[in-house]
Amino acid sequence: MVRAFLFVLLAYATAGVIAVVTGILLRDQSPIIVVGAADIAATIVVFLFSVVVRNSSMYDPYWSVAPVAIAIFWLLQPSSNGLANLRHVLIFALLCLWALRLTANWAYQWRGLEHEDWRYRDIKRQVGRFYWPASFLGIHLFPTILVFGGCLALWPTLSDRNTRITWLDVVAALVTLTAIVIEATADWQMRRFRRSLSAKRDADAMPRGLWSVSRHPNYFGEVLFWWGLYLFVPLAYPEFRLVIIGPLLILGLFLGVSIPLMERHLIAGHPEYVAYQRRVVSPFFPWFARSQKAPLQRDQQSAVRRENAPQ
């Protein structure tokens, strides 16, 4: 495992160097173009490492690592007074807290270079010899574009000077922090459920806490985080309100792709999962579970703890 982690570190360090070189070469361009090009260049490097080890899960940490690098770029702009700005410190600290937690969660679940997300294996079976072009476009480039869109909210908020904290900034900070807590709590509750289920073999057990009011509370927390970052924008920078495109795209990804894909996967492999769907009626937004008992059978428990764990 140590060698595997070192290999991932090498991949991302190389990607970082290439991103910096790309930024230097394009330094006379608009900052948006510089960041976008550097982001794509880093993605290509990670993709090449994925090809080397024949495992697209090399890209998985990118979602939480890239935003910090992008934020640092905005903080280093001549128009910014960096971390001398209290508002910058608040936003950057929340971003780093989210990134650290999500990256740590990935590292906790990762089992080495042989570990590959089931979604990628499904794509490989579906497209055959066209897998690597599909991997680059769908698994690497598309998420990079979505994250870049979400990070556009950091452009005005971190590349400015002396903007005062407003009441909406307080709301944004609370929303963002709440999102991080929801994700962390959902991860912890699912890990605890898996451990207790393995120890007690309780055939009637079902996930409690957040998992009893939403079938994917970790996804809800993730989307809420990006909306929290956006809320720092509208009042202080009304001319940048169009950066709402980022959280909208991320919301569309989870509602239109991630959740339906996960639900179909669970039902196809474990038909008993339907009972859990009837019990926990909301796939995304937390909502009251149905009052009647709908115990999970043993196969369904296995499905929940294996497949519904945070990604």
Calculate mean pLDDT across residues 147-164.
Answer: 93
DSSP 8-state symbol, 271: T
Confidence of residue 248 (pLDDT cuts 50, 70, 90): very high
d(CA 59, CA 49): 9
Q: Which of 4-13, 38-47, 185-194 has the lowest mean pLDDT?
A: 185-194
pLDDT at res. 237: 93
**Contacts of residue 279, Cβ cutoff 8 Å, sequence gap at least 6:** 206, 212, 289, 290, 294
Burial group, residue 61, by CB count within 10 angstroms (0-12, 13-18, 19+): buried
Do residues 222 and 63 make contact, with C-beta atoms less than 8 angstroms apart? no
Instruction: Please list the helix, strand and coil fractions of the chain in percent, rounded to the nearest 5, in that order.
Output: 75, 0, 25
Confidence of residue 296 (pLDDT cuts 50, 70, 90): very low
pLDDT 10s digits, 186-243: 999 988 887 876 655 554 456 788 988 999 999 999 999 999 999 999 999 999 989 9
Confidence of residue 20 (pLDDT cuts 50, 70, 90): very high
Which DSSP helix (H) or strand (E) runs through 71? helix 62-75
Task: Please count the other Cβ atoms lying within 10 Å of the Cβ belonging to residue 91.
Answer: 25
Confidence of residue 267 (pLDDT cuts 50, 70, 90): confident
Tell me what the pLDDT averaged over the chain comes to: 89
Calculate mean pLDDT across residues 149-153.
Answer: 96
Whole-number percent of the chain with pLDDT over 70: 90
pLDDT at 311 over 80: no
pLDDT at res. 297: 45
pLDDT at 175 over 90: yes
Q: Give residue for tokens 């999102």.
A: 179
pLDDT at res. 190: 86
The answer to whether the Cα torsion of 175, 181, 185, 186 is positive or negative is positive
Phi then psi for residue 54, to 5 deg, are 55, 45
- The better pLDDT of the pair 134, 164 is held by 134
pLDDT at res. 62: 96
pLDDT at 271 over 80: no
- The better pLDDT of the pair 156, 204 is held by 156
Calculate mean pLDDT across residues 71-83.
Answer: 94
Confidence of residue 57 (pLDDT cuts 50, 70, 90): very high
Long-range own/partner contacts, residues 129-136 (CB < 8 A, 24 or more apart): 132/51, 135/47, 135/50, 135/56, 136/47
Do residues 134 and 127 make contact, with C-beta atoms less than 8 angstroms apart? yes
- The better pLDDT of the pair 261, 303 is held by 261
pLDDT at 299 over 50: no
Residues making up the chain, counted from first to last = 311
pLDDT at 142 over 90: yes
pLDDT at res. 197: 62
pLDDT 10s digits, 87-124: 999 999 999 999 999 999 999 988 889 889 989 999 99
Phi then psi for residue 212, to 5 deg, are -95, -5
Q: Where are the domains of the chain?
A: 1-163, 164-311
Q: Tell me, rounded to whole angstroms, the distance of Cα 175 from its chain centroid.
A: 16
